[in-house]
Structure 1
Amino acid sequence: MSNYDVILIGSGHNGLVTGCYLAKAGYSVQVLERRENIGGAVCTETMFQSEEYPGGFRMDVGSSVHIMIHQTGIVEELELEKYGLEYIEMNPIMSYPLPPAQSEKGVIHFYRELDRTLESIARVAPEDVENYRNFVEFWGRVNQGVLKAFMVPPTGKNIVSELIKGQVRNGSMFKKGEQAAGLQKIFSSYGKVVDDAFENPWLKTALIWFAAQSGPTPDHPATGDFAGWQSMLHQSGARHPRGGSGMLTRAMANYIEAHGGTVQTDAPVADIIIEQGRATGVRTRRGEEFFADVIVSNAHVQKTMMALVGREHLDASLYEKVENINVGNGFGMVIRCAVEELPEYSASPGDPDIHKGMQLLAPSRQYLKNAIADHTRGVPPQDPAVLAMTFSKIDPDVAPDGGHTLFAWAQWHPYELSNGEHWDQIREREAQKIYDVVTGYAPNMKGKLIDWYIQSPLDIERKHAMPRGNVMHVEMSFDQMFMFRPIPEMSEYKTPIENLYLSSASCHPGGGVFGAAGYNAAQVILKDYRKDRWFF
């Protein structure tokens, strides 16, 4: 038996953000992580050690690119650089090499600096230089307000009225006379937003493929800002932690331990101990019991409420609502490759910048539509769209001499297959399709694979306890955002069980390496208990 002020179930980055802020406020925090490594989906592991590469390769097993968290102030407020975190700038943030058939036309680089980006666009899509400038300016104003909404618990007030009130109050979201048109863009689909704003097909494809990383398809309503968030890249940029993505969560664990807390691995929680409607502790699968005044679950909302809490402690209608949350039919899959050299893209031979950021490999809008159509039919895409990442170019710590890392994320891979196949039987076949997309753009990569770590939707579910392999936990559709996420009754990070809180990507504002859900959960807990600090 152990007693703490706070027990945190899971060590994903949102949960650790919550733990850091509570530790900073003086509460004793105990983190219980089911795996041997901390970090949840922000975790880096050493793989592929051999006689030739005795030190192995540092491979991310979840999220890799850190964008959103740099818009929150979390890293700075917690001074995480003092706890082992060092960020490396990715600039350009991403690049779009034109497909092999048009490779002579070059590449579009999206730099943090707007002017440099416009210069790159001018070489491929001169007709869209001013369009891009106007796009960034419009959505930049919108997203200043949206970011503020992300960094506070959602309210039950009408979203449209709140946006209008914000415009009146701040006078910055839309220019005079643009209010109605501006709101229409926000509630439009990101595919239409991009179509309306630009002319060049390759620029459109690049922006739509990057916007698709949030999950919903390009025709989904009220997703306009998935494309509009492009404006924020020019403000905060994108970064990679030296040594791998997991160095962020390692630094936060160091922070908690430096403030008197403990982080215990290989400690899977079996159930939350509930007495008279109040969470008092947790029990691990080994039978250990830990008690605390506050229990915070960083696990998926369905795992938390349906497995750790259980039907016997919940109203039948609420249990049904949690069970019916839309987690979708898979999201994507990824291959983590150790390779002998980096891709030499036909569109940009000798380009010194292309490996510094993400590489968007999708030849056309129709190519994306075909992949989506395959997903809708319940089969893996015949031709997957790929987002490639080559961090060993900017971070020598992740690969040994003579080797490099290549991560290739592909999307619209159904978890549940309609053709009778099983992911354990087809994972290598589908992984090869993804690698073949890379070699189609960069023929030098044929025969350069040293080894790979494959994560199909089923593998992602098993590794990260994300139902149906949805890396966003819950679909990022409008009906499951803001006060609807994960369900209205638990949208403010509280549950019907007294003293049990949520802090994962299942909650507002959703997935990605953001930390906002964890930050917001911490503020709710501090508000609830600060006035009763003596209680601890």
Structure 2
Amino acid sequence: MLANAAPALTVSGMSSYDAIIVGSGHNGMICAAYLAQAGKKVAVFERRGTVGGAVCTDTTKIPGYKIDVGSSAHVMIHQTPVLADLELSKYGLEYLEMDPWAYYPLPGQPGKGIAFYRDVEKTCQSIAEISPKDAEAYRTFVDAWGKLNEGVFDAFLKPPTPWNLVSTMFGRSLKGSDHMNMVRKLMGPYGQLVLETFEHEALRTAIIWLAAQSGPPPSEAASGDFAGWHAMYHQSGMKRAKGGSGALTQALKKRIIADGGEVFEDAPVKRIITSNGRATGIELENGDRHEAKAVVAATHIKTTLDNFLADCPDLPDEIRQRSKSLRVGNGFGMIVRCAMESLPDYPGFNYDNKGVGEMHRGLQLLCPSREALDAAYGDYLAGRPPEKPIPLVMTFSSLDDTLAPAGKHVMFVWGQYHPYELRNGEHWDDIADREADKLLAAVDEYAPGTSAKVIDRYIQTPLEIERLHGMLRANVMHLEMSFDQMFCFRPMPELSSYKIPAIKGLYLTGASTHPGGGVWGASGHNTAKLMLKEQKRWSK
């Protein structure tokens, strides 16, 4: 399906562009939008019937409800220049503030919890109700790690060269700690960082559970900043795109078309065409070919190397071999998307006349203890679903009444540490309902009766996540977010500069590249800026 006018044809009968973007995830769309804004003739090709990749909202999974099928909370994109540069508010994009952005109900203590607000002092007041000493420690923690991560974020908006990393990440004052001690904390496990910083188990558990959403377990070395990044949420806040997560990519689509670009949906790409060491276009599954001076692969790096370039004589053999050793991991988690009669009712808390409480606005962190998290991870390592899954609950209809019919709601329940490859003889298609029931039962332990309020549900097991999004083995970050696959090692040192050097005009973007997964837009921004800087190399 073509989103606007038919493309111009060359003498050979193939459409011709300055740049073709393969895949319409938000990074690919952002890259395309920057190029189109700069006057380049751009086309995006998407295999599914709608753009967005994992930043997509579906109205068919549960009729009458807008159901995100990938990301939900948009965080760090608000610290990039993307939204302002592309003026996406003019194309229908509106954001709603989640405040508090996260809430941790204390297990077994009705009416008590920790609220994480955008305002640091208000958050400290909430923490002080259970631990005055930790409130002071939290203030110092946010200040110190905020200073460091401002530099880290600058590094995220540039190609990850060693000089860029050193000059931006460590060229700032590390207030609240001496330099060597901060480096020690960076190189240590984030679980250890949290334990040595805070005393109260509830606060420890809340921060560790949120940090775990990036993938590596709390014990992993060189993961300290997964907890330290917590400080940045106070700067950017967490926000929801009104109308669903996919409102971001729909606005990008409108922006691309307004600037003369084209968007093809239901147009799966078969291969990227190269000739004499140069990318020259693409071939679709239906046999159609399209020429381009540059091609951007906005897909999983293994899909790019192993599928789109499978028969490419210009791809070095060593890159093919390195692709085999990339660590994709064994899945990440699963999610149950629910249409609801009403919102979860956490005992002891106050609600307005519509049943909406403060905690409903943010991520509801329902992890009973660090030991429970360790147990779930142990099951994951053993290749079986967690005996006691740990939910992270999102109820965005409390902020946005466009997501559900009047008086109804949506609830998304994410469970971490559900392995893609099961080693216990089971198959995800056979156990999807059972595991969804277990996740909802875990919510019931905090908010009794929640599962009885479910009208309908869409279950995304690890296998379903892979099928829908092409995220291999259901790793929503594409590749493990471990130190050896981050920064100038992502996806591998030879490809960390957003391009394949052996093939002129072939660029990379997306979660497989620096800085990794999540709704950032930094990769798409960086790839576009690099292409425009190098346009003389590929536009001849």
Question: TM-score, normalization: structure 2?
Answer: 0.94
Write the distance in 2 (CA, Å) between the matches of 1:437 and 1:347.
18
CA spacing shift, 1:119–1:479, aligned 2, 3 Å:
same
Q: CA deviation at 1:474?
A: 0.6
Deviations 1:162-194 (Å, cap 9, x if unpaired)? Answer: 26x864x54x2346x701111111111110110
Distance across 2 between alignment mates of 1:111 and 1:39: 29
The question of whether the paired residues in 2 share the 8 Å contact of 1:107 and 1:347 is answered with no
SS in 2 for 1:274: strand
- Which amino acid counterpart does residue 76 of structure 2 have in structure 1? M
Deviation at 1:156, TM superposition (A): 4.2
User: 2:218 and 2:265 mapped to 1: Cα distance?
Assistant: 40
Q: In structure 2, what is the equivalent of residue 153 of structure 1? A: 159
Partner of 1:66: 74
- Residue correspondence of structure 1 range 451-466 to structure 2 within 5 A: 451-466=456-471
Shift in alpha-carbon separation, 1:158–1:378, aligned structure 2, 3 A: farther
- Per-residue CA deviation, residues 437-465 of structure 1 (Å, 9 max, x unaligned), is 11111113141111111111110100000
Q: 1:352 Cα shift? A: 2.8
- The reply to whether residue 211 of structure 1 matches residue 217 of structure 2 is no
- The CA distance in 1 between the partners of 2:428 and 2:61, in whole Å, is 23
2:19 corresponds to 1:6: yes
Say yes or no: does 1:508 pair with 2:514. Answer: yes
Structure 2 counterpart of 1:202, one-letter code:
A
Q: Which runs of 4+ in 1 moved over 4 A?
A: 156-159
- Check conservation: 2:155, 2:169, Cα contact below 8 A: no
**1:467-506 matches, cutoff 5 A:** 467-495=472-500, 496-506=502-512
Match of 1:141 in 2: 147
Q: How many angstroms does 1:49 deviate by?
A: 5.6
| Residue in structure 1 matching 2:378, options 373, 378, 401 | 373
- Supply the distance in 1 between the matched residues of 2:530 and 2:320 (Cα, whole angstroms): 23
The CA RMSD measured in Å over matched residues stands at: 1.6
Q: Distance in 2 between matches of 1:232 and 1:215?
A: 18
Partners of 2:159 and 2:374 in 1: CA distance: 35
Counterpart contact for 1:66–1:240, Cα < 8 Å: yes
Quick one: distance in 2 between partners of 1:520 and 1:508? Answer: 9
Query: Using the alignment, how far apart are the partners of 2:339 and 2:471 within structure 1?
Result: 25
Deviation at 1:519, TM superposition (A): 0.8
The answer on whether the counterparts of 1:97 and 1:347 sit within 8 Å (CA) in structure 2 is: no
The corresponding residue for 1:53 is none
Q: Which runs of 5+ in 1 are unaligned?
A: 51-55
What secondary structure is seen at the aligned counterpart in 1 of 2:449? Answer: helix
**Residue range with higher mean Cα deviation, 148-157 or 84-93:** 148-157
User: How big is the shift at 1:312?
Assistant: 4.5
- Which of 100, 115, 121 is the matching residue for 1:115? 121
Whether 1:130 aligns to 2:136 is yes
The DSSP-based 3-state class of the residue aligned with 1:406 is strand
1: CA distance between counterparts of 2:383 and 2:271?
34
Note closer, same or farther for the CA distance 1:347–1:306 as it changes in structure 2 (3 Å cut): farther
Pair 1:29-2:42 in alignment: yes
Distance 1:48 1:323 in 2: 35
Which residue does the alignment assign to 1:440?
445
Structure number with the higher helix fraction is 1
Query: In structure 2, how many angstroms separate the alpha carbons of the residues matched to 1:181 and 1:158?
Result: 22
Kindly state the Cα deviation for residue 198 of structure 1 after the two structures are TM-superposed. 0.1
1:41 equivalent in structure 2: 54
Q: How does 1:400-411 map to 2 (within 5 A)?
A: 400-411=405-416
Which runs of no fewer than 5 residues in structure 2 stay unpaired?
A: 1-13
Tell me by how many angstroms 1:234 deviates. 1.0
Residue in 2 that maps onto 1:96: 104
Question: C-alpha deviations, 1:13-46, integer Å up to 9, x for none?
Answer: 0111111111111101100000001100000011
Pairwise CA distance, 1:315: 2.3
Counterpart of 1:524 in structure 2 is 530
Say if 2:96 and 2:399, in contact at 8 Å, map to a contact too. yes
Equivalent runs, 1:299-318 vs 2, <5 Å:
299-313=299-313, 314-318=315-319
Q: How has the CA–CA distance of structure 1 residues 264 and 148 changed in structure 2, closer, same or farther, with 3 Å as cutoff?
A: same
Distance 1:446 1:489, change over 3 A: closer
1:93 Cα deviation from its structure 2 partner: 0.5
SS state at 2:292 partner: strand
Aligned equivalents of 1:179, 1:123: Cα separation in 2: 32
Q: Matched residue pairs, number?
A: 521
Would the aligned equivalents of 1:216 and 1:477 in 2 still touch at CA under 8 Å?
yes
Q: Structure 1: which amino acid aligns with 2:433?
A: E
The equivalent of 1:87 in structure 2 is 95
Identity of aligned residues (%): 50
- For residues 96 and 191 of structure 1, the distance between their equivalents in structure 2, rounded to whole angstroms, comes to 17
Residue in 2 that maps onto 1:247: 247
